[in-house]
Structure 1
Amino acid sequence: MLSPGVSDDGAAQASHVQVRLYPRARLRGGGARVHALGLDPDQHHRHHAATRSHRVPLPDVPAVARRHARPRAPRPAQPAEGAREEARIEGRRAVTTHDPAEARRVHEVNRRKTFAIISHPDAGKTTLTEKLLLYGGVIQLAGAVKAKRGRAAAVSDWMEMERERGISITTSVLQFPYRGLQMNLLDTPGHADFSEDTYRTLHAVDGAVMLLDCAKGVEAQTKKLFRVCKQRAIPIFSFVNKMDRPGRDAFELIGEVESVLGIGVYPITWPIFRSGVFRGVYHRLEHQVYLFDAKDATSSAAGGSEKAAVKTSGLDDPRLMEELGDEGYKQLRDEAELLDAAGDSFDTAKFERGEVSPMFFGSAINNFGLEAFLESFIKLMPAPPPRETTGGALAATDAHFSGFVFKIQSNMDRAHRDRVAFVRVCSGRFERGMKCKHVRTKREIRLANPTQFVAQERNVVDEAFAGDVLGVYDPGVFEIGDTITDGPEFAFEEIPSFAPEHFARLVMADPLRRKQLQKGIEQLAQEGTIQLYRPPDARAGDIVLGAVGQLQLEVVKHRLKAEYEVEVRYEGINVMHARWITRKDGADVDLQALARARPGLVVVDVRGRPVVLFSGDWQLNGAVNDLPEYNFLETARGVVMRKD
């Protein structure tokens, strides 16, 4: 069989896949609809006559070229000896360049895969994250999610409270190599109380893996996070987890994803059952069966729970019947033909726009199905795309370095009381010690000793490219959403703040620790851990906190004690709503005049933006009617460029 990128006469060609989208056909299982892959005739390899599915060699071309290049043209003549030629991507157009620096940027950008995992709590997100690190060779043993004596803690859950409770509280950055690629995984909190941190993180990724529990399907938090991904139009992979446990029908799950989330689904692997017991997955593109061995379920080695793949020439191969038995084979054959009967092709363009999701089945805790998922992931996941700025779209391969701050974390190193700004690199080449402009303040800053991460562990790096995440020492200069660049001045899309749903008044146990409280609560608010409100002339003790969920308030209380040695308690406060205030004519808000109008409790947030706290709907609605010259906003965006 020919390898991708080699023609019948042996001449090397650029690998590519041309795809078509066919009308969907309705399938059984709650109105579920599934897709079948097809391929252009010139790419057809060894098609077995008895099956309607095609063997599709996924493209081994650089991701940027696959995403943006036009249909393949005849290969140009080779440049003179010593010249370097690479594909340069500008928007949707591929051009050639002889610039070695640019050629290297293109090569490095193609190697980056920056993504997050989204899920409802307890779907297995932390487990999947750690198993990916196992495959990347970063760790040798995955930690138990629940803290128990004698067990390792999860690498991605580095904060003390995370280890105690077995939940992810803050975003961790996990960077690891895999098959010559640089994988940048941003592990986000799954709990709904920390959804704002997750929202900010999803602004920094180029794709997402949606993790589903096979028994529960699409859950509440999954819906919320999916909507964020859909708004950004990023590619989404689906992985149905816990297949070794009793669960729902696969067709039913696909139907729920399509109807509830409004995204097409194409199953690349398909679950195999024998007498209702999970036996493995059938890879529809490779025509291979991967069998699940329950006795290997405790194996901690990557791939330790998979037997060697049973290679078949198609669904008529007699070896399938030997492995699955009559009942299991018949069920697989019927379901595979039902999938193929849909007649749809996998549309790469729709996938990259977030309109179609390739689906995989497996068991993360048993390492089953992960290798098949990873191999498809690295071939389908796009490289960093252009990003919108105030100056227009900016290509990842642009010569000028740029990035934005999407997260700030204090006290990752308790011994040094440090503060780190997480910067997503969006273009150019970052060099250690380089100088760049902090756009919001118009100051020139030097980025010394940048670090990359595996959770809390850091390594100093000398260079980085688009898609990478850097940790930069923050002396109190950065805010979430800040843009830095060594080129012309512009700003990336702003990251909004959201109105909280829970409020409490913070009270100190020891008034002599007021200074420590002031520092601690302001740093936590600047991180986005909590929203801080004070009257404009407030003393340090006049503090109202706002949070998306009650657990956020517990985290703040815990961190103030553990990191700043300040004990606090909360008192109830009669507040139901918070709204940021702006004038409709664009003028500055006069806080004293606003307070005299008595719309509610007038305060400012940690950035000095005016906010009004309301005790109920009637007070909020009354203020909106009585003060038509003001905007009452549920979301606020920070200032990203100072006006001269």
Structure 2
Amino acid sequence: METRNVRNIGIIAHVDAGKTTTSERILYYTGENHRLGEVHDGAATMDYDPQEQARGITINSAATTVFWQGTQINLIDTPGHIDFNIEVNRSLRVLDGAIVLFDGVAGVEPQTETNWRLADKYRVPRLAFINKLDRTGADFLRVVGMIEARLGVAAAVLQLPIGTEGDFSGVIDLVGMTALTWPTGHDAAPYTRGEIPPALRAEAERHRGRLLDTVVDQDDALLAAYLDGQPLDEAALHAAIRRGTLAGAFVPVLAGSAFKNKGVEPLLDAAVAYLPAPGDIAATGEHDVAFDPGGPLAALAFKVVQDDHGALTFVRLYRGRLAVGDSVLNTTSGKRERIARLYEMHADRKREKTRAEAGDIVALVGLKSTVTGDTLADAAHPVVLERIDAPEPVIDIAIEPRTQADQQQLSRGLQALLQEDPSLRLRQDAEAGQTILSGMGELQLEVTLEKLRTRFKVAVSTGQPQVAYRETIAHAATVAHVHKKQSGGPGQFAALTLQVEPLARGEGLQFDDRISGGAIPREFIPAVAAGVMRAAKSGVLAGHPVVDLKVTLLDGGYHERDSSQQAFELAAGQALRLALQQAGPVLLEPVMAVEVVTPQDHIGDVIGDLNRRRGLVRQQSARGNAAVIEAHVPLAQMFGYIGNLRALSSGRASFTMQFDHYAPTQRQAEPIIR
């Protein structure tokens, strides 16, 4: 099997940890850019969207290709805000490795933990880069301790910082036992390699010993030499670190300050040395394929972007080759697609190519029916790769065009934006006659509405954001129901017995049947399932979707002439609503994991306010001279929280939140009578 000198890596972190700044430094040091683009100036190459530049945050994942020491690096810079976590999810699905950034002051933050779990899910080896070590309050070893404690991993510390806070000037390389120092001043001059400062020698020796204890058992010969007290070969040590990183035995940790241009070149060296090339990680999942450039095509579409020229579909090739003019099979939809153009992407710039091969990440033009998560394959060797799961939205707004003439353009714009972002949902509220747009947070919906205005020239009116409630049941119930209709001509008849049972939170909606002896013909069972699924979209308490429910078809009856699929579908919907009413319906609300960082003298006010919002304070800790309060708070109580928090703390506190779980609300709705 051919192994290519390629690295497909992403940069992931909590919001404001320095991902885009690090990406810009990588572009500069690799020669892709000849000047440094700064996020705060709105000049970052990777934040090319006007909204990203205006807001100073990353909204869309952006891909680019750079070269370092003869290795091609396909790099994806991802958002840190929880509202855009789908971008991290689908990027990690197609990447071979990741660089995880940590703020040297804040350490392990909530979104970092979420992204770390996603990387675990997709079995992505990663490096840790502790950034912003020039800032007041930065503490490298404290963050290392947080990584081990909160993320449950062994940290292999490869570098120690030289100097603290404003005096941070370089790092000690614990593998080569040398000092790398950068010149003072805000420029991108290269580092110099020299002797470790005498004052830091003892600490460096101590941490090198810990590093060796962590990594030498990856190589029997290295372990034997270490136990015998012999000098260790540096190349063998690098190989052992690589082996342990790929196996997930530990995570290498590096230090730096991307904004001050310190630590980026060693980070690139580590990405090439320790992160996997395509094919280094064996295919293990049921829907994985082995890396094989000479095999039949297998590629995953992980992102779709709409522009004036149509859809631009980003794909990762796992097997085979792809060329302009090729006809391929979308095995998810069963439709044929033709490749009109093929591009290597550099943020918003395209570099046209004629072909791509296994391991490449490219963008395709000409695909008509391919969406995020679809598989493209050789028609003679069809395969379906693991799809990308989009999270369930937790917040709704009602939208409508301001003029009737904009209705068609609004529909076109919404369909394009939903294709781009699978974490958005659109539905029609039949009772209210409204179009409901759902998403992961207020910021995501705000960005979507701005895209409608600027890209599609549609002005919309919106209602206030509403919580996306769900319904479930408290206990099991069984209902026998007969649907019978006779009004001249063919009648309708369907009899069935349904059992409903509650499931654990997050289990969704499941359907099963235990029909035996032909009580209901098999061709009617799918109609029962369809009726159940349709009825579950609107619960009996307040019309919200029903979740965490198992529905089992136990028994039934039919009529030779009057039974039909329509009759059984109607009967199933009616029976489910009756069963839900008897099973103790419960209204669920989304509960957010909230982290507030506040000065110590405002702790009491902040906690008191969280308690008034029905919040449950879970943990309180110190971060430098500030306090960190972690709580679970119902989303319904968090609208407009930032204004309150600023008033309580004289503008000195900040907060982040992300969806954590659904829980029964204290406010129960009146049942809907049908």
> 1:585-596 maps to which residues of 2 (within 5 A)?
585=513, 587=526, 588-590=529-531, 593-594=535-536
Could you tell me how far 1:466 is from its partner in structure 2? Answer: 2.3
Which residue of 536, 558, 572 corresponds with 2:464?
572
Aligned counterparts of 1:589 and 1:575: Cα–Cα separation in 2: 27
Aligned counterparts of 2:431 and 2:290: Cα–Cα separation in 1: 43
Which residue of 158, 166, 172 corresponds with 1:282?
172
1:472 maps to which residue?
364
Could you tell me how far 1:532 is from its partner in structure 2? Answer: 2.4
Could you tell me how far 1:204 is from its partner in structure 2? Answer: 1.1
Normalised TM-score (structure 1) = 0.69
2:302 maps to which residue?
406
Please list the CA deviations of residues 243-282 of structure 1 after superposition, one character each: whole Å capped at 9, or x if unmatched: 2223443322211110110111111121122898323211
CA contact (8 A) 2:442 2:465 kept: no
Could you tell me how far 1:343 is from its partner in structure 2? Answer: 4.7
Name the amino acid aligned to 2:408: K
Which residue of 567, 582, 598 corresponds with 2:540?
598
Aligned counterparts of 1:143 and 1:193: Cα–Cα separation in 2: 25
CA contact (8 A) 2:303 2:372 kept: yes
Unpaired runs of 5+ in structure 2? 219-241, 472-507, 514-524, 547-576, 587-658, 661-674
1:121 maps to which residue?
15
Which residue of 291, 314, 321 corresponds with 1:395?
291
Could you tell me how far 1:444 is from its partner in structure 2? Answer: 2.3
Aligned counterparts of 2:57 and 2:537: Cα–Cα separation in 1: 41
1:135 maps to which residue?
29
Could you tell me how far 1:503 is from its partner in structure 2? Answer: 1.2
1:93 maps to which residue?
none
> Structure 2 vs 1, CA of residues 339 and 592 (structure 1 numbering), >3 Å: closer, same or farther?
closer
Structure that is richer in strand per residue = 2
1:363 maps to which residue?
257
Aligned-partner SS, 1:294? coil
Which residue of 162, 175, 180 corresponds with 2:70?
180
1:309 maps to which residue?
193
1:527 maps to which residue?
420
> Structure 2 vs 1, CA of residues 379 and 226 (structure 1 numbering), >3 Å: closer, same or farther?
same
Q: Does structure 1 residue 459 correspond to structure 2 residue 343?
A: no
- Report which of the two structures shows the higher radius of gyration computed on alpha carbons: 2
Name the amino acid aligned to 2:297: F
CA contact (8 A) 1:582 1:589 kept: no
Aligned-partner SS, 2:46? coil
Work out the percentage of aligned pairs sharing the same amino acid: 26
Could you tell me how far 1:157 is from its partner in structure 2? Answer: 0.8
Could you tell me how far 1:573 is from its partner in structure 2? Answer: 6.4
Could you tell me how far 1:578 is from its partner in structure 2? Answer: 5.0
Number of matched pairs:
479
1:442 maps to which residue?
334
1:19 maps to which residue?
none
> Structure 2 vs 1, CA of residues 561 and 249 (structure 1 numbering), >3 Å: closer, same or farther?
closer
CA contact (8 A) 2:425 2:437 kept: yes
Aligned counterparts of 2:183 and 2:312: Cα–Cα separation in 1: 44
> Structure 2 vs 1, CA of residues 376 and 597 (structure 1 numbering), >3 Å: closer, same or farther?
closer
Name the amino acid aligned to 1:522: Q
> 1:217-366 maps to which residues of 2 (within 5 A)?
217-273=107-163, 277-295=167-185, 297=186, 299=187, 301=188, 304=189, 306-310=190-194, 312=195, 320=196, 324=197, 329-340=198-209, 343-346=212-215, 347=218, 348-366=242-260
Aligned counterparts of 2:148 and 2:539: Cα–Cα separation in 1: 49
Aligned counterparts of 1:274 and 1:484: Cα–Cα separation in 2: 51
1:557 maps to which residue?
449
Name the amino acid aligned to 2:414: I
Please list the CA deviations of residues 229-251 of structure 1 after superposition, one character each: whole Å capped at 9, or x if unmatched: 11222111011112222344332
CA contact (8 A) 2:104 2:130 kept: yes
1:498 maps to which residue?
391
Q: CA RMSD in A?
A: 3.0
Aligned counterparts of 2:98 and 2:581: Cα–Cα separation in 1: 41
Aligned counterparts of 2:191 and 2:111: Cα–Cα separation in 1: 34
**Taking CA–CA contacts closer than 8 Å with sequence separation of 6 or more, which of the two structures ends up with the larger relative contact order?**
1
Could you tell me how far 1:122 is from its partner in structure 2? Answer: 1.4
Aligned-partner SS, 1:189? coil
Aligned counterparts of 1:353 and 1:253: Cα–Cα separation in 2: 23
CA contact (8 A) 1:157 1:163 kept: yes
> Structure 2 vs 1, CA of residues 142 and 248 (structure 1 numbering), >3 Å: closer, same or farther?
closer
1:507 maps to which residue?
400
> Structure 2 vs 1, CA of residues 391 and 233 (structure 1 numbering), >3 Å: closer, same or farther?
closer
Please list the CA deviations of residues 173-194 of structure 1 after superposition, one character each: whole Å capped at 9, or x if unmatched: 1112222222111111111211
Aligned counterparts of 1:154 and 1:269: Cα–Cα separation in 2: 28
> Structure 2 vs 1, CA of residues 368 and 232 (structure 1 numbering), >3 Å: closer, same or farther?
same
Name the amino acid aligned to 2:61: T
> Structure 2 vs 1, CA of residues 176 and 343 (structure 1 numbering), >3 Å: closer, same or farther?
closer
1:542 maps to which residue?
434
CA contact (8 A) 1:535 1:602 kept: no
Aligned-partner SS, 1:365? coil
Which residue of 314, 324, 329 corresponds with 1:422?
314
CA contact (8 A) 1:390 1:490 kept: no
Please list the CA deviations of residues 92-111 of structure 1 after superposition, one character each: whole Å capped at 9, or x if unmatched: xxxxxxxxxxxxxx1xx422
Aligned-partner SS, 1:364? coil
CA contact (8 A) 2:338 2:367 kept: no
CA contact (8 A) 1:499 1:577 kept: no
> Structure 2 vs 1, CA of residues 547 and 596 (structure 1 numbering), >3 Å: closer, same or farther?
closer
Could you tell me how far 1:601 is from its partner in structure 2? Answer: 3.3
Name the amino acid aligned to 1:215: V
Could you tell me how far 1:392 is from its partner in structure 2? Answer: 5.8
CA contact (8 A) 1:423 1:471 kept: yes
CA contact (8 A) 1:270 1:281 kept: yes
CA contact (8 A) 2:298 2:383 kept: no
Aligned-partner SS, 1:450? strand
Please list the CA deviations of residues 515-571 of structure 1 after superposition, one character each: whole Å capped at 9, or x if unmatched: 0011111111121265223249799x7311111111101111100011111111321
> Structure 2 vs 1, CA of residues 402 and 256 (structure 1 numbering), >3 Å: closer, same or farther?
same
CA contact (8 A) 1:210 1:236 kept: yes
> Structure 2 vs 1, CA of residues 511 and 294 (structure 1 numbering), >3 Å: closer, same or farther?
same
1:30 maps to which residue?
none
Name the amino acid aligned to 2:268: L
Aligned counterparts of 1:627 and 1:217: Cα–Cα separation in 2: 42
2:238 maps to which residue?
none
Name the amino acid aligned to 2:258: A
Could you tell me how far 1:354 is from its partner in structure 2? Answer: 2.9
Aligned counterparts of 2:51 and 2:178: Cα–Cα separation in 1: 43
1:432 maps to which residue?
324
